[in-house]
Amino acid sequence: MTHLIRSFEEYQAAYRRSVADPEGFWGEVASDFQWRRPWDRVLEWNFTEPAVKWFAGGKLNVTENCLDRHLAERGDQTAILWEPNDPEEHYRKFTYRELHAKVSQFAHVLRNNGVRKGDRVCLYLPMVPELAIAVLACARMGAIHSVVFGGFSAQSIADRIRDAGCSLVITADGGFRGSKEIPLKSVIDDALVQCPSVRKTIVLTRSRSPVSMIKGRDAWWEDEIKKVETMGNPDFPAEEMDAEDPLFILYTSGSTGKPKGVVHTGAGYLVYAHYTFVNVFGYQPGEVHFCTADIGWITGHSYILYGPLAAGATTLLFEGVPTWPDAGRLWEVVQKYRVNILYTAPTAIRSLMGFGLEYVQGKDLSSLTKLGSVGEPINEEAWHWFDEHIGGGRCPIVDTWWQTETGGIMISPIAGVTPTKPGYATLPLPGVQPLLVDENGREIEGNGVSGNLCLRFPWPGMIRTTYGDHERCRLNYFATYPNLYFTGDGCLRDQDGYYRITGRVDDVLNVSGHRIGTAEVENAINLYTDVVESAVVGYPHGVKGQGIYAYVVCINHQRDEDLTRRDIAATVTRAIGAIARPDKIQFVTGLPKTRSGKIMRRILRKIAEGETTDLGDTSTLLDPAVVEEIRAGVLVTKGG
């Protein structure tokens, strides 16, 4: 494999080259791919509009690079291993040849159901191989996929379907997660009441629970496949796509309004996902890669599907949860498939740590060679536990910092190459040019400094636009500091020049590694009939990293508080999904506001964090008495 970094000196050389000659650097990396037509220019860009084009004029198809390209050399190698939710159910596996055939077949199903190049398709599926097949089938025929995580509510799905103008939805009758069954089809039925753009839905059989099928709109996956079989299963030649044609939309939360549709385009995204996968994890041919994320998030897109498949790796898809049937499940899976690379989240590690070592002991984890972490800062205790008890002290840990918008890993050790430091994402990968700025956008140079993390130069995997609203993309990421991409994260650069992400500096929470906007949760709480207004902040939570703390002003003070708490939590679950349920709800008679009416979150955050004495400057408050009341009330607040 080319472009694989093997030593720290090679990393430094690659990094220097990527800064001095980005076009030469990425042009060489991209030349490993199969192109239908070579690019005219590697990069055209400005951050003011913003307008960024990688490999402009080039033509290719992403699935030709993830599937067809591998057939000659490793057609019979396993591409996807699937571990079901229930360990008693039989696992499944697909070789590259089989996956290629399935993807071709399902691309026909999409076409037979009226999907054309450029159409948007929404996927709301459990973690089953058919989700991977459907994603790749979209890419093969040039449709833009929008995967929605199976935990989102009907309302959230409807918002996403309408925003993207999806014409087709792919779902399942139901899905399994641990001991729960999720009625996916019935959630979709509720969502589609508000979605006139959707003409068809395709429903996979998974849970076999009864669902209602709407005539003319709903078709069974299996019946549609049979139709293609009667056609004699013709091949589906990959559609020729422009390098900058959109590959997918993925919705993510920001500090204001509804989630935005982050748009990634084909060539740059694939080149970046592949390059970062092979280098960060030091991927060796034949290794089994297990990323525990859900394909509904960017981590699943880049490091369950596109990165590993572009590299011709064996990627493991797990339908279940780490704690069912017991807290040893992940280690069970590692042992069963002789997993080499394990990529997971700090929240999962902390949760499993809490169950004790008895679930790790006796499991054969000797196949592991590399460990990874993503989604939030990893605390030292979790880092050491992971290192010692899972990696047996012999596996490098890569703490990978990146975002939905960056498409792939940005700041991270290269496994076995970069000396690590617990809690540090360490150094930027080749092609990544980070800098720290102060509130006024002035660069903070030198080491041993903190600031807001920005990027000064484009990289192939970066966001191109927010779907249907380019101005929103500009305002959100490129307008805070002129000519820079602003990440929304705070960051420390220590004496050695190592980066440590300190968390969001905007009104975005990170709950169990999932991004949730405080405004989104507030809007959901405010839907409840008795609520006048609310303010949501994060607070440190032992397992989730951050918990959701809501201050709520109600009209009806007579009602039983616990009952109201339950109703509010249920309202949020219905509006967004269970991931946004407040952990704590405190009823207050007013919120601390400035004279201009702005809620002083800084004070609310401090109180939620348990700080009740030093609240900082409260002199600009309209009504300082409110703070006294909130401070007194915090003691009686119960869980939500």
Which spans of this chain sit near ligand WTA (rule: CB under 6 A)?
A: 252, 297-299, 374-377, 399-404, 425, 487-489, 501, 504, 510, 515
Instruction: Select 27 or 372, whichever has its Cβ closest to ligand WTA.
Output: 372
> 549 forms bridges with which residues in the sheet?
537, 584
Instruction: Select 258 or 593, whichever has its Cβ closest to ligand WTA.
Output: 258
How far is Cα 205 from Cα 458, in angstroms, rounded to an integer? Answer: 43
Q: If 0-12 CB within 10 Å is exposed, 13-18 middle and 19+ buried, where does residue 169 land?
A: buried
How far is Cα 254 from Cα 403, in angstroms, rounded to an integer? Answer: 12
Whole-number Cα distances in Å, 348 to 292, 376, 506: 9, 11, 24
Instruction: Select 96 or 277, whichever has its Cβ closest to ligand WTA.
Output: 277
**Is residue 429 helix, strand or coil?**
coil
Q: How far is the CB of 450 from ligand WTA (least distance, A)?
A: 14
Whole-angstrom distance between the N-terminal and C-terminal Cα of the chain? 52
> 171 forms bridges with which residues in the sheet?
124, 203
Look at the block and give the residue holding tokens 């190698």.
77
Instruction: Select 15 or 402, whichever has its Cβ closest to ligand WTA.
Output: 402
Nearest to 207 by CA among 179, 181, 189: 181
Q: How far is the CB of 298 from ligand WTA (least distance, A)?
A: 5
Q: How far is the CB of 553 from ligand WTA (least distance, A)?
A: 29
Helix axes 221-230, 96-112, angle to 10 degrees: 100
Instruction: Select 298 or 321, whichever has its Cβ closest to ligand WTA.
Output: 298
Instruction: Select 494 or 533, whichever has its Cβ closest to ligand WTA.
Output: 494
Look at the block and give the residue holding tokens 């903190």.
450
Instruction: Select 409 or 585, whichever has its Cβ closest to ligand WTA.
Output: 409
User: 464 near 52, Cβ under 8 Å?
Assistant: yes
Phi then psi for residue 473, to 5 deg, are: -65, -45
Work out the angle at residue 148's Cα, subtended by the Cα atoms of residues 515 and 564, and round it to the nearest 5 degrees. Answer: 60
Instruction: Select 404 or 586, whichever has its Cβ closest to ligand WTA.
Output: 404
Residues with Cβ < 8 Å from 421, sequence gap 6 or more?
496, 498
Instruction: Select 236 or 467, whichever has its Cβ closest to ligand WTA.
Output: 467
Instruction: Select 340 or 403, whichever has its Cβ closest to ligand WTA.
Output: 403
Phi then psi for residue 286, to 5 deg, are: 95, -10
Work out the angle at residue 332's Cα, subtended by the Cα atoms of residues 331 and 337, and round it to the nearest 5 degrees. Answer: 100
Q: How far is the CB of 107 from ligand WTA (least distance, A)?
A: 28
CA atoms within 13 A on the CB side of 108: 20
Q: How far is the CB of 408 from ligand WTA (least distance, A)?
A: 9
- Cα-to-chain-centroid distance, residue 441: 28
Instruction: Select 119 or 489, whichever has its Cβ closest to ligand WTA.
Output: 489
Q: How far is the CB of 580 from ligand WTA (least distance, A)?
A: 14
Q: How far is the CB of 250 from ligand WTA (least distance, A)?
A: 9
Q: How far is the CB of 501 from ligand WTA (least distance, A)?
A: 4
User: 416 near 282, Cβ under 8 Å?
Assistant: yes
Phi then psi for residue 202, to 5 deg, are: -115, 130
Q: How far is the CB of 276 from ligand WTA (least distance, A)?
A: 11
User: 312 near 285, Cβ under 8 Å?
Assistant: yes
Instruction: Select 63 or 344, whichever has its Cβ closest to ligand WTA.
Output: 344
Going by DSSP bridges, is the β-strand pair 92-95/78-83 parallel, antiparallel, or unpaired? antiparallel
Instruction: Select 152 or 402, whichever has its Cβ closest to ligand WTA.
Output: 402
Q: How far is the CB of 487 from ligand WTA (least distance, A)?
A: 6
Q: How far is the CB of 241 from ligand WTA (least distance, A)?
A: 25
The DSSP code sequence of 454-476 is EE-S--TT---EETT-HHHHIII
Residues with Cβ < 8 Å from 51, sequence gap 6 or more?
44, 45
Q: Is 365 left (phi over 0), alpha (psi -120 to 50) or beta?
A: alpha
Instruction: Select 70 or 260, whichever has its Cβ closest to ligand WTA.
Output: 260
Q: How far is the CB of 262 from ligand WTA (least distance, A)?
A: 8
Q: How far is the CB of 55 from ligand WTA (least distance, A)?
A: 24
Q: How far is the CB of 94 from ligand WTA (least distance, A)?
A: 26
Instruction: Select 39 or 477, whichever has its Cβ closest to ligand WTA.
Output: 477
Helix axes 154-164, 561-575, angle to 10 degrees: 30
Going by DSSP bridges, is the β-strand pair 168-172/200-204 parallel, antiparallel, or unpaired? parallel
Q: How far is the CB of 124 from ligand WTA (least distance, A)?
A: 18
Q: If 0-12 CB within 10 Å is exposed, 13-18 middle and 19+ buried, where does residue 193 land?
A: exposed
